[in-house]
Amino acid sequence: MVLVKSNIEQKEWGLVNQFDDIPEDHIVRFVDCFVDEFFDDSIDDDLDKKPGRAIFPKKILLKIVVYGRIDRVNSTEVLEDMVKNHHHYQFLAECLKPSARTIRRFKEEYGYLCGVIMESTLKYAKNKNLTDFNHMTIDGYCY
């Protein structure tokens, strides 16, 4: 399979980058940077060499699902609509537009990564002294 390529520096609507108006301290930028730091580009290397239809990068789909959980959006149809119409989701998707079926398939196969991201986020917050909790219980699964 071939990996769908994205270009976050793509210029639309004139000479200004369309994502310049998202503040640097916005949670969407944290999700973007955190997933990029946590997963390197080798997460998709095995699929990039197989023949077949192009697939969406797992990092981009993971960013969409994680930010959807922050926004309390679980439905893949709603996530698809948000990626097509919402500025912050477009930023995370790097101007790609995955379908609801693609997002659903990703959640079925790689949904456990949301739990790994949540655990890593909590460890990061603890290491940076952003919180002082000793333990934390989360009801439900990041799915």
The answer to whether the beta carbons of residues 87 and 35 sit under 8 Å apart is: no
Distance CA 84, CA 78 (A): 10
Phi and psi (nearest 5°) for 55? -115, 160
Q: According to the model, what pLDDT value does residue 82 have?
A: 93
pTM of the model: 0.73
Q: What tokens appear for 47 in the block?
A: 């699929």
- Residue carrying structure tokens 């990703």: 106
pLDDT 10s digit of each residue in the chain, 143 long? 556 666 566 555 444 566 778 888 888 888 888 888 877 766 666 555 666 666 788 888 988 998 998 888 889 999 999 999 998 999 999 888 999 999 999 888 888 887 777 777 777 777 877 777 666 666 554 43
